[in-house]
Amino acid sequence: DVKVTQSSRYLVKRTGEKVFLECVQDMDHENMFWYRQDPGLGLRLIYFSYDVKMKEKGDIPEGYSVSREKKERFSLILESASTNQTSMYLCASSLTPEVTGELFFGEGSRLTVL
């Protein structure tokens, strides 16, 4: 059974703190993604990666960075958390788009920044 695991389901942080969200997939997928999900909005892509040590900016990369040192692990970093980064963060992985490219999502990490 395919699995994408996110390190924390719920986090509460203070403004200015550094936040790490980790994601691990066991499907040997090349592609990994970080989205945020907010009420009334579609999923918004923060960063994605098509290979180890490779990263590409998505639609809303400001205030975020990522790291992909190993194929199975993709981390999202908030260098200095702000209240407008309170959101649900979803990690996903996929095979190459030419093979349907359906996304497999983790359970999500709900971050609250006070």
Partner 1 sequence: GQNIDQPTEMTATEGAIVQINCTYQTSGFNGLFWYQQHAGEAPTFLSYNVLDGLEEKGRFSSFLSRSKGYSYLLLKELQMKDSASYLCAVRDSNYQLIWGAGTKLIIKP
**Beta carbon of residue 78, minimum distance to partner 1 (angstroms, whole number):** 21
> Going by C-beta distance under 8 Å and a sequence separation of 6 or more, which residues neighbour residue 2?
25, 26, 27, 104
**Beta carbon of residue 99, minimum distance to partner 1 (angstroms, whole number):** 11
Q: Does 108 bind partner 1 (CB under 8 A)?
A: yes
Cα gap 47→29, rounded to integer Å? 16
User: Considering beta carbons, is residue 4 or 24 the nearer one to partner 1?
Assistant: 4
Which stretch in 16-24, 42-50, 62-70, 74-82 sits in contact with partner 1 by CB under 8 A?
42-50
Residue 71 CB-density burial (10 A; 0-12 exposed, 13-18 middle, 19+ buried): middle
Q: Does 95 bind partner 1 (CB under 8 A)?
A: no
